[in-house]
Structure 1
Amino acid sequence: MFKLISILLRGRAHDAEQAFADRNAVPLLAQQIRDAAQSIQSARRSVAVAIAQNEQEKVQHGAIIARIADLEVRATAALAKSNDGLAREAAEAIAFLEAERDVSEKAQAQFTQAIDKLKGIVRASEARLQELQRGERLARATQEAQKLDVAVAGPGFATLDDAEETLARLRLRQSQNELTAVALKDMEGAIRPAGIIEKLANAGFGAPLRSSADDVLARLKSRITPAA
């Protein structure tokens, strides 16, 4: 019985953990990406350190080669002068330096191999990081869109349809009011005597109610006294 209870508790704990992870998936992903970016940055620094160490090794290797060449010249000169003692000391130094040269070359080969491997790892990791960052942006956009869908479907936005219908009715009523006002104005003009007289005068029946520009010009010309 105790075993079953233990299994059940562990199962519920796992479900709760998964539910928590699902609810916080986006911020969890963002933190994981930040952690990965820091690891990649550390790997970049490791590559830079390895390159610097390899360059130092190359400088030391060059110095060893130069010292070997110098000692060989001097040892040869000592042999030419039958100074076998100094020539032997030079030969021992040359043998020691040649051993250092060999170790340096092996170290350079190891550095080069390690650097190439680290560079490959960093490049691959950077590509994966960029893909994760794009995925995170898409996940955030999707999450915001889903929140908007839920909000629109919720009670706060449930009256959108009603508001749109109200606006449509308002516009229809305003249009009807405008048409009614125009019709009333026409009717008033048709019923009032003054309106009928104005319509007749404008149609050319009877004297015009207002002077035209031609009438004004004719009146002004008649005032002009012909020159003697």
Structure 2
Amino acid sequence: MSMWKQLVTLVRGTAHEAGQSIADAKALTILDQQIRDAGTAQGKARDDLATLTARRRMIEKEVEGLVEQRTRYEASARAAMQRGDMDLARQVAERLAAIEADVTAKDPQIADMRAAEDRMRGIIKQSDGKIEALRREVDVVRANESVQKAQAAVASSQGGAMSQLGSAADSLARLKERQAVREEKFRAAAELEDMRTGADLDAKLRDAGLLPGSSSADDILARLAAPPAQEPRKLTDQRD
């Protein structure tokens, strides 16, 4: 039973890690969606605020109309009292009482609605600031993520390039070595051929000036320094 619990715990832990890895990989996408959702909620809040403001203004206009009616009815009640028509004056007074009761009921409503508007404006402003700050933070994280991915790609490319360069350098060294060995083989073959034909001995004799028909530089200089030989006198016919 204990082993079974451990296996269940391991499976749950593995599933959590997998889910966390997926969430981390999609973190920016999730944040973008959350920002969009917050923006939608802000739009709904602004609509509600606009509706509340519109209703409050409608009530204020109603109050303004009631105040105007009260002013007119007060004048009418005074006129009726001056003429001694108390029944009419009482009817007007009853209407004035209803108007004043309506105004008295609506004034607190207007005050409450104004207070609610102020609270909503404060909340909306605060939420706008938080959303904007989160959006900037997401932009920074996205930029950093792009830069780090580029750096990783460059590092990977450099690693591959350095590996390729190392392989190319090794190949070049082996090629130079093969060429050097081949050159030595050519030189050795030429020396063997000269030895077979005696060309190497002729070269040594030529350099020493001992080969017939060859002269060394010293021989040529000695010849040029020697006085020219006198030609023998030719015998001329003497006439008797």
TM-score calculated relative to the size of structure 2: 0.62
* CA-to-aligned-CA distance 1:54-82 (integer Å, 9 cap, x gap): 21111111000000111111111111222
Q: CA RMSD in A?
A: 2.2
Cα shift at 1:45: 1.5
Cα shift at 1:156: 7.4
**Secondary structure of the structure 2 residue equivalent to 1:154:** helix
Identity between Structure 1 and Structure 2 (%): 30
1:104 aligns with 2:106: yes
Moved more, 147-156 or 119-128: 147-156
Cα shift at 1:8: 4.3
The 4+ residue runs of structure 1 with deviation greater than 6 A are 160-163
The answer for the alignment partner of 1:145 in structure 2 is 147
Cα shift at 1:4: 5.3
Cα shift at 1:9: 4.0
Note closer, same or farther for the CA distance 1:83–1:20 as it changes in structure 2 (3 Å cut).
Answer: same
- Residue 52 (structure 2) aligned to one of 43, 50, 53: 50
1:31 aligns with 2:33: yes
Conserved 8 A contact 1:152-1:158: no
Cα shift at 1:12: 3.3
- Residue 67 (structure 2) aligned to one of 41, 65, 68: 65
TM-score calculated relative to the size of structure 1: 0.65
CA distance in structure 2 between the aligned counterparts of 1:83 and 1:3, rounded to whole angstroms: 96
- Residue 87 (structure 2) aligned to one of 85, 88, 109: 85
**Secondary structure of the structure 2 residue equivalent to 1:159:** helix
The answer for the alignment partner of 2:174 in structure 1 is none
Cα shift at 1:90: 1.1
Gaps of 5+ in 2: 169-240
Note closer, same or farther for the CA distance 1:152–1:65 as it changes in structure 2 (3 Å cut).
Answer: same
**Secondary structure of the structure 1 residue equivalent to 2:154:** helix
Note closer, same or farther for the CA distance 1:147–1:73 as it changes in structure 2 (3 Å cut).
Answer: same
The answer for the alignment partner of 1:122 in structure 2 is 124
Q: How many residues align?
A: 164
* CA-to-aligned-CA distance 1:156-195 (integer Å, 9 cap, x gap): 76216967xx9xxxxxxxxxxxxxxxxxxxxxxxxxxxxx
* CA-to-aligned-CA distance 1:83-109 (integer Å, 9 cap, x gap): 121111111111111111012211110
CA distance in structure 2 between the aligned counterparts of 1:101 and 1:7, rounded to whole angstroms: 68
